């Protein structure tokens, strides 16, 4: 298993633990740790992914669109289908970037 795969698994398991924890204080501690994990993953990405590619630009634009769609859905839960479509586009852009980085 690669570091990227392990980080993704770790993140999913941490989210599952947060959802299954009933103690509010422990839940907050776990959320803080998840935030710390996301910060570290972001730093790893920024240190290792070239910004000078079309795929990087597409991925960042996709993430911005995905975040906006999620925020819209949070304001109006009926927009969830549109949000799912926007997230799919975001993930596709990230997948293209990952392929580009892996091929380099």
**How does residue 34 score in pLDDT terms, banded at 50, 70 and 90?**
very high
| Contacts (Cβ under 8 Å, ≥6 apart) of 63 | 90, 93, 94
**How does residue 11 score in pLDDT terms, banded at 50, 70 and 90?**
very high
CA distances from 73 to 24, 31, 84 (A): 26, 22, 10
Q: Domain boundaries in the chain?
A: 1-48, 51-104
For 69-102, write each residue's pLDDT tens digit.
888 888 888 777 888 888 888 888 899 999 988 8
Q: At what angle do helices 3-20 and 24-48 cross, to 10 degrees?
A: 160
| pLDDT at res. 69 | 86
Enter the tokens of residue 56.
């990087």
Check residue 78 and report its DSSP letter.
G
Please state, as a whole number, how many other Cβ atoms lie within 10 Å of the Cβ of residue 80. Answer: 14
């Amino acid at each position: 298993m690669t570091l990227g795969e392990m980080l993704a698994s770790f993140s999913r398991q941490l989210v599952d633990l947060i959802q299954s924890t009933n103690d509010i204080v422990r839940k907050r501690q776990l959320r803080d740790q998840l935030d710390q994990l996301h910060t570290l993953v972001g730093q790893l990405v920024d240190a290792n992914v070239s910004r000078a590619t079309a795929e990087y630009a597409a991925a960042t634009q996709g993430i911005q669109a995905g975040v906006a769609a999620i925020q819209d859905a949070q304001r109006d839960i009926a927009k969830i289908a549109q949000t799912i479509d926007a997230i799919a586009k975001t993930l596709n852009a990230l997948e293209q970037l990952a392929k580009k980085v892996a091929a380099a």
